[in-house]
Amino acid sequence: MNRVCQILGITKPVVQAPMLWITSPELVAAVSNAGGLGVLGFNAGTDVRRDTAEETAADMRAAIRRTKELTDKPFGIDIVPASADAAGFSTGIVDIMREEGVKTMVLAGESFQESDVVPFKEEGFTIIARQLNPSIRDSKQLEAWGVDIIVATGCDEGGCMPCGSTGTMMQVALLADAVEIPVLAAGGIINEEFARASAILGAEGAFAGTRFILSKECRAAEATKRNLLETPQDDFVIFTQWGGTSKWRSTPNSVVLAAVEANKAGNLDPAQGSYYESELKGNLDAGVNSGNSVTSLIRSIDSCADIVADLARGYE
């Protein structure tokens, strides 16, 4: 049992990365039952888009309770740092974590403040820190504040990618060298071979998103899954958003192609369409279908148990 397993109370060092709506209780519980750590994302398991902190918190309570019905193993919850969350989404969710006894949080964001970390550590939470744009400096600071595990996210990842040019394997090597606490590899960890490559460079576990979209238990639409499986790496399209602070990689569809055109015109803030419509409902031209570039190497849609076991072999 390695350090990641000891810290998280799991048997296989595989964390399912949070992905908004598609990380439903069924997916999270399947990963946790397989020995990994499932993580509920914002809007977990709901069928509607929530606008208020109160509604989101109420949904999260229902998602936590449903997850507990499906597993008695540990699972985590994704939150953004309170310092970057004026609307109070995180605060409401953390209150519910306390009430429901969920002790592991994935803290996802950047420009973390001491107050985003230290009070939670003093309270006994386990913290996996996922910097959107990881740096050695910030990783050392997070370690000094007491974070338990650092995610080394490279620009290879699916979803909202780091804006820098450092890929997953480089990021793993850099951060594992910089901190004493365990590092998880995020970005393109889709099978045992990628997991083992990251382990050689210092990762002690995987933080995998895209691979779990292509699982039997993931609630993403079949059309969405097939689209990821059938898109070769050179067909993925990258565009920027939010004033250029965020990058996305998506399969080609009308929203994404429009975003690329908007980028050329200097507009770095195009609407990205709706993940909800594309990933959950399978209406690919209504939004973004994001994944890493190696989805064409994923041969089949497998159970979470098989995926967790496959990735974990890379860290043995």
Residues interacting with ligand FMN, by CB under 6 A?
17-20, 41-42, 78, 108, 130, 153, 157-160, 186-189, 207-211, 279, 290-292
Of the pair 94, 108, the CB lying nearest ligand FMN is at: 108
Least gap, CB of 187 to ligand FMN (angstroms): 5
Of the pair 62, 72, the CB lying nearest ligand FMN is at: 62
Least gap, CB of 86 to ligand FMN (angstroms): 18
Strands of 160-161's sheet in order across: 160-161, 246-250, 237-241
Least gap, CB of 4 to ligand FMN (angstroms): 16
Least gap, CB of 20 to ligand FMN (angstroms): 4
Of the pair 211, 281, the CB lying nearest ligand FMN is at: 211
Of the pair 81, 158, the CB lying nearest ligand FMN is at: 158
Of the pair 230, 267, the CB lying nearest ligand FMN is at: 230
Least gap, CB of 290 to ligand FMN (angstroms): 5
Cβ-closest position to ligand FMN:
209
